Amino acid sequence: MTQRTVLRLSAIVSGLSGIVILIGVIYPIVSYDSVYSQKYTKLVSPLADPDSQVQEFLTAPTKGTSDTTRASTWFTGGAKEEDFSAPTISYYEISIPKLKINSATVAIGGEDLSKSLIQYPGTALPGKRGNAAIFGHSILPIFNNPKNYISIFTMLPTLKKGDPIYINYDGVSYTYKVEEMFEVLPTDLQVLDQDDSDSFVTLVTCVPPGDPRKPKRLVVRARVVPPDQNAMKTLGIDYGRSKVGLAIAEGPLAEPWRVIRYTNAGMLDEKIKQIIDSEKIEKVVVGVSEGEMGKESERFAKGIGAETFDETLSTKDAQILSREAGIGQKKRHDMEDAYAAAIMLQNWLDS
């Protein structure tokens, strides 16, 4: 291969790489405008710096620019830096399963969005009547990492009405469900107003993610779910012809529990009834798929007095979840049906 050919191939590879990178940057912005932005017919808005956002999180902000990793810069005329002082309880945790956010820290009294989520000063605490406003940073979707606070709210636009949000504050767990989503401008402080009719959580981030040209704020508002709707102990069952997977929820989160193998229907019915009595189960939900297996699942559910729920889960989904749990291959194989039951039950809880 001649030197000229090598140089020509290198130029082609470099050109193609540049095109891929350019598409990776432009497509998410265009996609947001054409897909997500259309959902928010109400414009009531966090992005204050016209400089490149990627450069912003890789380097420190220069003097005179607005640093969007500081919560005090997000709304014009809002709280000042000195207002972000720490109270007795300085932080709590939030989980959003759909965004793969698990026990993220929300700082009360901080304002550095590169280190945690931030509760806006003067807004209600979780579980109390009023509106708890939580700010989180976002960047270009290609850099999304739900475990990194600089990008934690990047996928916030993908939430939908009814999606659950879990908060653990001062040892008490609260479940919220998304009610509405809309955009506002940085000057629109009314999204921080307090509504004492119930307990609300308002999540706020920059949109479009990674695009500094159109500074807006995406607002996701959720309402607390009454405690009596979360306290029920529920058994989820993934039905199979020779074995069933079991999951249990004592509140808003389903956990894989065990797998039962059986040789006849009478044996299985009796075993499940024993579990219901011994574990003090208040509700049983059986996953039902399409086809002949779905009909068998329905007959089984009817026999034990259980509710049925459409099961859109594939075996692959359960395998992925069990791998992420970090358990060994043999136990993972043995527990796949329990993980399938947990996913089905969680979908039922979230519905």
Interval 231-281: pLDDT, tens: 678 999 999 989 999 999 987 788 899 999 999 989 999 999 999 999 889
If you search the block for the tokens 């704020």, which residue do you land on? 217
Task: Report DSSP letters for 53-108, one per residue.
Answer: HHHHHHSPPPTTS--TTBGGGSSTTS--GGG----SS-EEEEEEGGGTEEEEEEEE
Is the model more confident about 112 or about 331?
Answer: 112
In the prediction, which pLDDT does 178 show?
A: 94
Pick from 22-36, 112-126, 224-238, 335-349: least confident:
22-36
Fold of 38-225: Sortase; Chain: A; (2.40.260)
Cβ-contact 294, 288 below 8 angstroms: yes
Beta strand extents in 212-329 (DSSP E only): 216-224, 233-238, 243-250, 254-261, 283-288, 307-310
Q: What is the mean pLDDT of residues 83-94?
A: 75
38-225 and 233-350 in the same fold = no
> What is the CATH code for 233-350?
3.30.420.140
In the prediction, which pLDDT does 89 show?
A: 78
Cβ-contact 155, 220 below 8 angstroms: no
Distance CA 63, CA 69 (A): 14
Tell me the three state secondary structure of residue 161. coil
If you search the block for the tokens 């034990």, which residue do you land on? 304
Q: Each residue of 272-306: pLDDT tens digit?
A: 999 999 988 989 999 998 888 889 999 999 999 99
**What ranges do the domains of the chain cover?**
38-225, 233-350
Phi/psi at 79 (nearest 5 deg)? -65, 145
Report the percentage of the chain scoring pLDDT > 90: 40
In the prediction, which pLDDT does 28 show?
A: 56
Tokens of 182: 């809309």
Tokens of 148: 């990194």
Distance CA 215, CA 25 (A): 17
In the prediction, which pLDDT does 252 show?
A: 75
208: pLDDT strictly greater than 90: no
In the prediction, which pLDDT does 238 show?
A: 93
In the prediction, which pLDDT does 17 show?
A: 63
Q: pTM score, two decimals?
A: 0.56
